Amino acid sequence: MSGTSTSSGGRPASEPVDWTVVLEVQQFLFSEARLLDACRYQEWLALLTDDVHYWMPVIENTLGRGAPHRFSPDRLAFFDDNLKSLRRRVDKLTNRTAWTENPPTRQCHVISNVEVEPAERGDELTAHSVFVHNRGMGERDEFTLVGRREDVLRRTEEGLRLAKRLVIIDQHVLLARNLNVFF
C-alpha cells in the first residue's frame, strides 16, 4: 500500500505562486482554523464546496522501505466524508443531546508550514500545511494530535473554498478515545 498524496514530495513547488496568493491561502486556512476552534461548524461548512472530500486515512504500520506514511483509499479510515456526511456530523455535534459537547470541547488548531502550488485545474490550488491540534475536555482530559494536511482549494465567486482535504497523522493506533473534532 502506498500513499495517494499528490504532494511534490519535499521539492519546492515547480511554479512559484504569487506571494499575494500565498498570503490569501494562509489567511483562509487561519480563519478556517479559528472557526473550528470556536466550534462555529455551520460557518465552517459554508467554506466547503458541494463536492468536497474530507479524508483522514488510518496510517498503516508495515515493514519495508519507502514512504513512511502508508495509506490507501481502499482501506478503513477515520474520516471519509462528503458534504452530506459532514453536515450530519455537524448536526450531531450541535444537537443539544451531543453529550461529548456538554461541557463543551475546547480546542486549538496551530496551522503552519503553509506551501501553495498550482493544482491540475486552473481554478484550484494545492495547499500543504501542518497542524498541531490540542483538545481539552472536562476537567483534565487533554489530547494532542499532530499531522499534515494536503488541501485542494477552489476559487469561486464567494472566494476560496475547500474542495478536498487529506489529513495524514503520525499515529497508527489513535491515542485518544474519540475524534469529536475536525482537522
Select the residue interacting with other proteins from 5, 17, 34, 78 (CB under 8 A). Answer: 78
Select the residue interacting with other proteins from 92, 106, 112, 156 (CB under 8 A). Answer: 92
Select the residue interacting with other proteins from 77, 83, 108, 130 (CB under 8 A). Answer: 77
User: Cell 483522514 maps to which residue?
Assistant: 56
Q: What are phi and psi of 170, to 5 degrees?
A: -95, -15
The whole-angstrom separation of Cα 169 and Cα 80 is: 15
- Binding segment for other proteins (CB under 8 A), chosen from 43-51, 90-98, 146-154, 155-163, is 90-98
Task: Report if residue 136 touches other proteins, rule: CB under 8 A.
Answer: no
Q: What phi-psi label fits residue 181: left (phi over 0), alpha (psi between -120 and 50 degrees) or beta? A: beta
Task: Report if residue 106 touches other proteins, rule: CB under 8 A.
Answer: no
Cell numbers describing residue 3: 500513499
The whole-angstrom separation of Cα 61 and Cα 169 is: 12
Q: Which residues contact other proteins by CB under 8 A?
A: 1, 56, 58, 60-64, 72, 74-81, 85, 88-89, 91-93, 95-100, 172-180
